[in-house]
Chain A
Amino acid sequence: MATSTTTLERTPRPGRRGRLHAFIDHLRNGDQIAHLITLAFAASVFLITCLLVYELWATSVLPRHKFGWSFLVTSVWDPVFEQFGALPFIYGTVVTSALALLIAVPLGVGAAIFLAELAPPRISDGLSFVIELLAAVPSVIYGVIGIFVMVPLLRRYVEVPLKAAFGYLPLFKGPAMGVGFLAAGVVLAVMVVPFILSISREVLLSVPVDQREAALALGATKWESTWKVVVPYARTGIMGSIFLALARALGETMAVTMVIGNNPQISASLFAPGYSIAAVIANELAEASSEMHYQALIELGLVLFAVTIIINALARILILTTAGRGTAH
């Protein structure tokens, strides 16, 4: 491309017809057009993001001026007396997402390894089709099943025994009500597993056969070649799937609000009710009658945006540093 443009520039300025000719020549050069079109698409996505942030910023003037940075570190959320602090919501969002990944990553990656490497192709294809269907289920369905089926089971068979065995730990203190951080984390885990699983499986399947054969030729067992060669090769892709899952978990609204208990408090106990940013926005925006309340909710949207960016950045840094170590080996 570079050579073609330089030659074009070097041709002396011709007359009208010549210029038209040059223009048509340009159009024939499909690369340039494709370049421009895709760039315009990329630019518009970026533009939309910028507009979104600007809009969130511009419509949250009131609480930003009134509370400043204390919005992020105080815990009172009182629409009547117009005191707003986002900390319990940030805490709830981060804790439930972390809990979800803690459950979903081993489950999803482990299942993906089985389906990609060990299972017969027919079973693998059939199963992964079913699992991908899970990703298409609307989140309100997860919420309904969560509240009517999972929460009672969780209370009876998980929370009560955990409390009996480890009740002295702050993690399992308080009454076992079923709804709370744990319930939200489990529902989110179920929701994000399909993302991790199906992407990880595709990535594992795309690892070149040479890699496996080389490992096997060196005397590695099937598992050794999978765990020490194939999985590290596919690591970036697997991480990508986890990011996608994380983004989904951070922003999930309906399913979370139905099982988290919706109480803005910070508690070390997994059994305690909590609240997440997306949930409180969905719950209160429609009936927010005072301007301050409305704008505080918009500011929460901005905070969620920032939380997502920060967590993603941290995760990326983590990968970069560990990847560096990987190559140094």
Chain B
Amino acid sequence: MTRPSIKRLAVTLTFCFILIAGLISRPKPSSPAPAVPADRLQINAAGATFPYPIYSKWFDEYHKMHPDLEINYQSIGSGGGIRQLQAGTVDFGASDMPLKDDQLSQFKVKPLHFPTVLGAVVPTYNLPGLTADLKFTQKALAGIYLGRITKWNDPEIANANPGVKLPGDDIVVVHRSEGSGTTFIWTDFLSKADPDWKAKVGTNASVNWPVGLGGKGNEGVSGSVEQTPDSIGYVELIYAIQNHMHYGLVQNAEGVFLKADLAGVTAAASGAAKSMPDDFRISITNAPGKTAYPISSFTYLLIPQSFSDTAKRDAIIGFLRWMLKDGQQYTEALSYAPLPKEVVAKEMKAISNIK
């Protein structure tokens, strides 16, 4: 290429860039986006996928009553919701796990936790020829997932299931491969069940699994369990109920073996309500109470404690009040466990903290 053409090239490229830069930085047209009329309030939220069905039901029902308010919820995962709330790209977030102190400290405007519904996790397994529901002690589940218990006829399992003929085969352990609130609840429970688990693996949405295969999503885990003889996995209670899956009983803090159902999950929340801190950041796995199912958890909305936009603040407060009072009736139809009365009353009070 000759020199003048290089020069011309440089000039043209610069020109192009200036043009592009101009287009990008051009001020937005003064009128609001045409899709939303000026009198309509739009609130953006993002976060956990587990409560997405009930949230979209709520936002939809609430929109029918308040046509001028629209809440858009993106179920991108708890981690993503926390990140977006921190960056200020959404008005509120949602998470399956309460924020840790060091996470909270990174927020300019601290978010408040509001429990919305409850979820639970159940162990599911595939033992060909077995019809009875298996009972799992807490030590058994932790031992299996730690790789300490490797055979189905291990005394820890066999002693809890007298009269059940267990095979001497190796246990194939299946867990969730992707980071998820389900894994958080499961590992939180295992941490309480066994100090070894707490020391070696810990509680998180994704952990360093000592043993096992990773299945993607509830369907990946249940698919692997269904196809692999002698396997064990864990899925959300909702998923197990909706797909009519077989799942085991788990020993709770009082030593009672419980088969998970919505009442048992709500019982766990009311058992924990007595020791509930004012910011609701509490784990309710292994909660006290004879009827409390031990692998239960809240899922939360994360609401900033102060808003500069008062219209948005009032709209969100209005929604929270409705969700705690009337919204709870929609939960059981979608297989979510409703909040116990004690927690609802406490949250109603906490709403006044939103400034």
CB neighbours of B204 from chain A (8 A): 79-80, 289
Tell me if A287 and B214 are in contact (CB < 8 A).
Answer: no
Tell me if B201 and A80 are in contact (CB < 8 A).
Answer: yes
Tell me if B214 and A273 are in contact (CB < 8 A).
Answer: yes
| Shortest beta-carbon distance from B87 to chain A in Å | 12
Tell me if B208 and A79 are in contact (CB < 8 A).
Answer: yes
Q: A1-B5, A32-B8 are in contact. Are A284 and B206 (CB under 8 A)?
A: yes
Q: A80-B202, A80-B204, A263-B209 are in contact. Are A258 and B216 (CB under 8 A)?
A: yes
| Shortest beta-carbon distance from A139 to chain B in Å | 12
CB neighbours of A279 from chain B (8 A): 177
Residues of A in contact (CB 8 Å), total: 48
Tell me if B213 and A261 are in contact (CB < 8 A).
Answer: yes
Tell me if B5 and A5 are in contact (CB < 8 A).
Answer: yes
Tell me if B172 and A177 are in contact (CB < 8 A).
Answer: yes
CB neighbours of B178 from chain A (8 A): 257, 282-284, 286-287
Tell me if A288 and B228 are in contact (CB < 8 A).
Answer: no
CB neighbours of B209 from chain A (8 A): 263
Q: A80-B207, A289-B97 are in contact. Are A263 and B213 (CB under 8 A)?
A: yes
Question: Residues 176-220 of chain B: 1 if any A CB is under 8 Å from the residue's CB, otherwise 0?
Answer: 011111000000000000000000011111111100111110001
Tell me if A287 and B208 are in contact (CB < 8 A).
Answer: no
Question: Residues 219-253 of chain A: 1 if any B CB is under 8 Å from the residue's CB, otherwise 0?
Answer: 00000000000000000000000000000000000
A6 interface residue (CB < 8 Å to B): yes
Interface residues of A in 88-126 (CB under 8 A from B): none
Tell me if B2 and A78 are in contact (CB < 8 A).
Answer: no
How far is A35 from B207 in the complex, measured between Cα atoms in Å?
A: 53
B119 interface residue (CB < 8 Å to A): no
B13 is contacted by which of A40, A76, A293 (Cβ under 8 Å)? A40
B82 interface residue (CB < 8 Å to A): yes
Tell me if A178 and B227 are in contact (CB < 8 A).
Answer: yes
CB neighbours of B8 from chain A (8 A): 26, 32, 36
Tell me if A179 and B224 are in contact (CB < 8 A).
Answer: yes
How far is A288 from B207 in the complex, measured between Cα atoms in Å?
A: 11
| Shortest beta-carbon distance from A175 to chain B in Å | 7
How far is A290 from B205 in the complex, measured between Cα atoms in Å?
A: 10
Residues of B in contact (CB 8 Å), total: 44
Tell me if B179 and A283 are in contact (CB < 8 A).
Answer: yes
B138 interface residue (CB < 8 Å to A): no
Chain B binder among A11-19, A146-154, A194-202, A306-314: A146-154
CB neighbours of A282 from chain B (8 A): 178
| Shortest beta-carbon distance from A27 to chain B in Å | 12
Q: A78-B208, A283-B179 are in contact. Are A177 and B214 (CB under 8 A)?
A: no
Look across to chain B and name the residue whose beta carbon is closest to the beta carbon of A258: B216
CB neighbours of A39 from chain B (8 A): 9
A128 interface residue (CB < 8 Å to B): no
Interface residues of B in 77-130 (CB under 8 A from A): 77-80, 82-83, 97, 100, 103
Tell me if B206 and A283 are in contact (CB < 8 A).
Answer: yes
| Shortest beta-carbon distance from A93 to chain B in Å | 15
CB neighbours of A261 from chain B (8 A): 213-214
| Shortest beta-carbon distance from A1 to chain B in Å | 7
Question: Residues 215-255 of chain B: 1 if any A CB is under 8 Å from the residue's CB, otherwise 0?
Answer: 11000100110011000000000000000000000000000
How far is A270 from B262 in the complex, measured between Cα atoms in Å?
A: 43
Tell me if A177 and B213 are in contact (CB < 8 A).
Answer: yes
CB neighbours of A32 from chain B (8 A): 5, 8
CB neighbours of B77 from chain A (8 A): 286-287
A294 is contacted by which of B78, B79, B214 (Cβ under 8 Å)? B79
Most chain B beta-carbon contacts within 10 A, residue among A2, A32, A283: A283
A181 interface residue (CB < 8 Å to B): no
How far is A1 from B100 in the complex, measured between Cα atoms in Å?
A: 66
B34 interface residue (CB < 8 Å to A): no
How far is A283 from B224 in the complex, measured between Cα atoms in Å?
A: 17
A210 interface residue (CB < 8 Å to B): no
CB neighbours of A8 from chain B (8 A): 4
How far is A83 from B132 in the complex, measured between Cα atoms in Å?
A: 41
Tell me if B172 and A81 are in contact (CB < 8 A).
Answer: no
How far is A143 from B207 in the complex, measured between Cα atoms in Å?
A: 24
Interface residues of A in 259-316 (CB under 8 A from B): 261-263, 273, 275, 279, 282-290, 293-294
> A8-B4, A294-B79 known; 16 other A-B pairs, CB under 8 Å?
A9-B4, A32-B8, A40-B16, A80-B208, A177-B172, A262-B215, A262-B216, A263-B212, A263-B213, A286-B77, A286-B79, A287-B181, A288-B79, A288-B205, A289-B97, A289-B204
Residues of B within 8 A of A (CB): 2, 4-5, 8-9, 12-13, 16, 76-80, 82-83, 97, 100, 103, 170, 172, 177-181, 201-209, 212-216, 220, 223-224, 227-228
List 23 interface pairs A-B (beta carbons < 8 Å), by A numbering. Answer: A6-B2, A32-B5, A32-B8, A36-B8, A79-B205, A81-B208, A147-B224, A148-B223, A148-B227, A175-B170, A177-B213, A263-B214, A273-B213, A283-B178, A283-B216, A287-B79, A287-B179, A288-B79, A288-B205, A289-B79, A289-B204, A289-B205, A294-B83
* Interchain residue pairs A-B with the least CB separation, the first 5: A262-B214, A287-B179, A286-B77, A262-B177, A80-B202
Residues of A within 8 A of B (CB): 1-2, 5-6, 8-9, 26, 32, 35-36, 39-40, 43, 76-81, 83, 143, 147-148, 151-152, 175, 177-179, 257-258, 261-263, 273, 275, 279, 282-290, 293-294
